[in-house]
């Protein structure tokens, strides 16, 4: 009888109910003590339905995608910024304080108001390489032929320069700008000049025949120039006092340092002295193109966050090969008589040039640099100066060379990269 009770119910029949039902019957039905309970499909999340679980996974996926977007773009998406603005920053700022300010090098505002035909394209090409290497902001301009500005144009340009991301280096063919006059912070200026007669001759033949970059580039630059003007003999131009070879067109370098005042365009003592004053007060360095390597070395010492390693880049054979393309072609030397007349007409330009040269050599001696010039050229003997014209000078036609600089920069960057790869391979071998 005991065995029959273990294996069956009343009447000796086996219990065919499911185990859960049998347990319920044994426990007296559903209830707190012995009642049966339905098990959830996800035992780890006893209070979530499948729909709630799907919503949680979708939210997690969106959060992961947002984090990935943040990291790839260097900042949060706009909708997260808007959300943070809506919720407020007080909690974050109370806990962590304001974010640390970016530490800027000194000086962090540099202006290179480059003088035409004084090595400016070579220096700008170097600056493009250096800005990518050192991470400073190289600011250029789409305007290349306007060196003298109205008051409103000065205010607009100063505003655009001052609002650029720092540290910046702004470069353009433009006469000196007084930022403090319009309430701005005065930047540090740098520049390079050269022997005035050599600069004039380089510009004279460059406008007519271009350089080694292409046989026809001068035709693109000065398409309106008549053939008789293009092939005008330099001696005839000087001796017969053509406008291009006389004042005020020859009064070219000093206005870059004198400034935007109308008297800065009149050849005379006033403009000369004001240019000297600005060199002393606003220019960190004014170099001499004839000693360009020393100029680059001093720039590297004065402004290492802009010009570090500039000399090694300049001396790179690939860079020198590309730089030689900017040499003016078909340049001839005027007669001694014509040269003497140029000296007379450019007496103020030469007085300024020799003043800057003396200041530059003073800096070199202070830093222990010796001049590599074998023998200094004698100063010109001027004739008794005749009255100088003070009419409004005509702009020299400057080349729109930004596109060419961009092309040659890319070629130079590729060449430098190939040279570095070859050097690495040789070291491995």
d(CA 286, CA 130): 20
Residue 173 catalytic?
yes
Which of these is catalytic: 78, 85, 144, 173? 173
Name which of 354, 357, 351 is nearest 286 in CA terms.
357
d(CA 116, CA 144): 10
> Could you give the residue numbers annotated as active site?
173
């Amino acid at each position: 009888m005991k065995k029959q009770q273990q294996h069956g119910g009343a009447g000796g029949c086996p219990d065919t109910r499911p185990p859960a039902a049998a347990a319920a019957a044994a426990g007296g039905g559903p209830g707190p003590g012995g009642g049966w309970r339905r098990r959830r499909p996800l035992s780890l999340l006893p209070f979530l339905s499948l729909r709630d679980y799907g919503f949680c996974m979708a939210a997690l996926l969106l959060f992961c995608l947002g984090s990935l977007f943040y990291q790839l773009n260097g900042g949060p998406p706009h909708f997260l910024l808007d959300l943070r603005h809506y919720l407020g920053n007080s909690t974050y700022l109370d806990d962590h304080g304001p974010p640390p300010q970016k530490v800027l090098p000194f000086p962090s505002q540099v202006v290179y108001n480059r003088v035409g035909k004084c090595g400016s394209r070579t220096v700008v090409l170097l600056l493009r390489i250096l800005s990518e290497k050192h991470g400073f902001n190289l600011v250029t301009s789409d305007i290349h032929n306007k060196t003298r500005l109205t008051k409103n144009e000065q205010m607009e340009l100063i505003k655009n320069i001052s609002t650029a991301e720092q540290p910046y280096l702004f470069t353009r063919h433009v006469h000196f700008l007084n930022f403090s006059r319009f309430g701005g912070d005065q930047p540090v200026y740098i520049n390079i000049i050269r022997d005035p007669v050599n600069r004039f001759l380089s510009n004279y033949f460059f406008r007519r025949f271009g350089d080694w970059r292409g046989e026809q580039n001068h035709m693109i630059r000065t398409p309106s120039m008549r053939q008789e003007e293009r092939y005008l003999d330099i001696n005839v131009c000087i001796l017969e006092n053509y406008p291009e070879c006389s004042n005020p067109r020859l009064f070219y370098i000093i206005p870059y340092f004198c400034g935007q005042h109308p008297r800065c365009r009149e050849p005379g003592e006033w403009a000369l002295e004001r240019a000297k004053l600005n060199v002393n007060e606003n220019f960190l360095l004014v170099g001499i193109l004839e000693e360009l390597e020393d100029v680059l070395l001093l720039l590297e010492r004065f402004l290492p966050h802009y010009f570090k390693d500039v000399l090694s880049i300049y001396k790179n054979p690939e860079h020198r090969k590309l730089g030689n393309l900017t040499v003016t072609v078909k340049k001839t030397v005027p007669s001694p008589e014509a040269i003497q007349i140029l000296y007379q007409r450019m007496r103020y330009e030469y007085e300024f040039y020799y003043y800057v040269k003396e200041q530059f050599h003073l800096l070199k001696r202070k830093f222990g640099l010796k001049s590599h010039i074998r023998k200094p050229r004698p100063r010109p003997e001027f004739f008794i100066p005749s009255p100088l014209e003070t009419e409004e000078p005509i702009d020299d036609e400057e080349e729109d060379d930004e596109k060419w600089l961009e092309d040659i920069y890319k070629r130079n960057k590729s060449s430098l990269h190939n040279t570095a790869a070859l050097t690495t391979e040789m070291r491995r071998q």
